[in-house]
Chain A
Amino acid sequence: QQQVKQSPQSLIVQKGGISIINCAYENTAFDYFPWYQQFPGKGPALLIAIRPDVSEKKEGRFTISFNKSAKQFSLHIMDSQPGDSATYFCAARQGAQKLVFGQGTRLTINP
């Protein structure tokens, strides 16, 4: 069973709009929550990450919101651009080594 559940599976947003991707988890032992971005034919690359003692982290147009009590976190992309079109994965770290991923969201930004 998937330890981290991600939605939606695909998302189409108009240029300049806000893209929102959601993730939920059950394991309270997770201690670090990164988001990875993957372009076609490439491996995933770290985009932004948050620890559970912080409710929000912002880096440029990308923001993670974290709700520890609900065990949910989300990625917001403000002013979405065609270059943001990619697959996005949320993830959660268990212990120092194990990193488990959500199912992925294919984001398309229409010009």
Chain B
Amino acid sequence: NAGVTQTPKFQVLKTGQSMTLQCAQDMNHNSMYWYRQDPGMGLRLIYYSASEGTTDKGEVPNGYNVSRLNKREFSLRLESAAPSQTSVYFCASKTGMNTEAFFGQGTRLTVV
């Protein structure tokens, strides 16, 4: 049982390049989330998807787009990467009213 799987684990981008972070969960969860983790800032919610077909902005959505491809997959896209987007990105999922969120192992992204 893999849980929440994120790809890639590491990525270096040049300013202005684009990329998509992939996330897949095999727990049949309805809700999926993207967070970024920065020193001293904790985990900040970028976007979330309460169910297949819906997405909503979190605390820090600027510069990002998301796609809930199906119930299993939720991707995060950076259209034009900026150094300020250097961070560790975490995907998470949970069932609708269940209170525990399960996290992936993270993607460490560096924008130079």
Query: A residues near B, CB below 8 A?
Result: 2-4, 6, 9, 32, 34, 41-46, 49, 89, 91, 93, 96-104
Contacts and interface: CB of A to CB of B under 8 A. Distances in A.
A49 B105 CA distance: 21
B96 interface: yes
A34 B105 CA distance: 19
Contacts of B92: 43, 99
Contacts, number: 60
Contacts of B99: 32, 34, 49, 93
B103 A45 contact: yes
Nearest to A42: B105
B103 A101 contact: no
A89 B103 contact: no
Instruction: Indicate the member of A32, A43, A49, A102 with the most B CB atoms within 10 Å.
Output: A43
B30 to A, nearest CB: 9
Contact of B44 (A9, A49, A101): A101
B11 to A, nearest CB: 16
Interface residues of B, number: 27
A33 to B, nearest CB: 10
Interface string B54-93: 0010110000000000000000000000000000001010
Nearest to B96: A96
Contacts of A104: 40, 42-43
Nearest to B59: A100
Given A97-B31, A99-B33, A102-B42, A41 B105 contact: yes
B4 A43 contact: yes
